[in-house]
Structure 1
Amino acid sequence: MLSLFATAPVVPAADAATVDSRAPGKLMQRWAGTAPDPGPGLPGWYSKRPDIHVHQPRNLASIPLAEIDLLRRRAMVAFEALMRQPSLRDVRGASLQADVNIAVVPTLDGVRLVGAILSINAKSVIEGKPGTIEREGRYLTPSEEGAVLNVHLNPYDIMARRQVQAEGVERGGFQVRTGAAYGIYVADRLPDYDPNAEYAWVPRPLALELQHDRSWYQPVAAGEHPLLVHVSSHSHENDDLRSDRLSPDRPLARLAAAMFMVDWNDVRRRMKAVT
């Protein structure tokens, strides 16, 4: 495992755009207003930059350092965009651990594919609970179970191995779900989707295309620069979020608000501009 660190690029302030129509009303009322309060609770510890983990294959050719570096720098654009959102900036009552995992992804046809996932894991910070610790003047409770927001730079794996359902096309993004969990897919070309078609959309044809897409880590390679943002917790919390019963200050709600408020097509364009 290899750890790499870099200074994050400057990100324009205007990351928020017209909010996804699926976004729960109370959630957006809480976080999409002007200068929302950071919320109750102790100031939560958060990653200043993601930890980078490179999982080199044992019996195959190693992932070249140039490809690792390009994926890392492009993932940093998404990280900065998320951390500028009100629900994650100066977070209270929750901690945020960010990681980027880079690995060779097994594919259906045995095609070599390198994937990268930016993850932000959010956990409640419980004041007075044994095990709550201070770090850099802020707090975290490592024993708490968390919610996670994943940004997939090429979501082949989730499209090939999960039950992904389509919900619509909006704001230049393809709205998807896994169970009750929300997802947003953006790319140079979106999948063919007709909500009135006789048969429901299925992800396998997209997965078969994605296994050949190296555009995120090989600049000269043909591809669509596919990006999937997905936020999830336990099934009951996913259900509560979707039905607008979840407190907007819960870790899952904070992650979801950030996902809904980022303009992912703008972020993807800026990621593509990193060379």
Structure 2
Amino acid sequence: MSTTFQLDTATSRASPTPQPMKRLTVPAIRKRKTDGVTAEPIVMLTAYTARMAQLLDAHCDLLLVGDSLGQVIYGLPSTVPVTLEMMANHAAAVVRGSYHAVVIVDMPFGSYEASPEAAFASAAHLLKVSGAAGVKLEGGEAMAETVAFLTQRGIPVMGHVGLTPQAVNVLGGYAARGRSDAEAQKIVRDAKALDDAGAFAIVAEGVVEPTALEVTQAVCAPVIGIGASAQCDGQVLVSEDMLGLFERVPRFVKRYADLASIIEEAASTYASQVRSRQFPGAAQTYQPTT
């Protein structure tokens, strides 16, 4: 689906504004998997700003406001320090910048683990402030009661199994999961527990391919892979990784562009022209009228 853009001249900085269109819904995403098969894989990318949402919206089924913004936007060492207000503010920006994709927002570390009631308070706040359609939380069997509590009270939940970045201090790093039989079986159990609890979709991150395939086949909800398998029901990447804005990315990332080099070259040219007084030129300055 393409997006028609109009220039908004009401502000000094005119920005493309998509014309309203019918937004996809959580039930529509859930129904993409029928009898264990997803004929058209689900496309999901991360977005943290209104402008990025505008650019990605027409091409995605889901936009994820991931807590990876802690590292991508704020330069934090992990996702653990991310706050609820960070997530709420960025999610609101992404909702304002999109008209087509379902916007899902990550629940940050510490905002949902204590109890289902605490999770509901956090999730309700996120959705009220941002207008997002649902939340994503990490964890499997341990979080199934919370997922059921939220979904029964009108909050759509996307699950997340395998490599769970918020648990990096327990896991001891970002290595792939499911290499041992015991770990693989736990990941499958986790996914089934989330599915039974009512999760409308499940992210499988950093899971060895045989385990990712088993998870995908074991649950009714669509499984969205990241570092998993092309045979999952959909895929997600951090947009800044996919666009080549960082020198180092996980091995499962495919770079579809090299924007870092383009930005550096543009900044270098700008700096050179400023220092040589080539910029601004006649086209960029205001002259008195005669």
Into which bin does the TM-score normalised by the smaller protein fall? under 0.3
Higher strand residue share: 1
Give the number of the structure with larger relative contact order, counting CA–CA contacts within 8 Å between residues 6 or more apart.
1
Higher helix share: 2
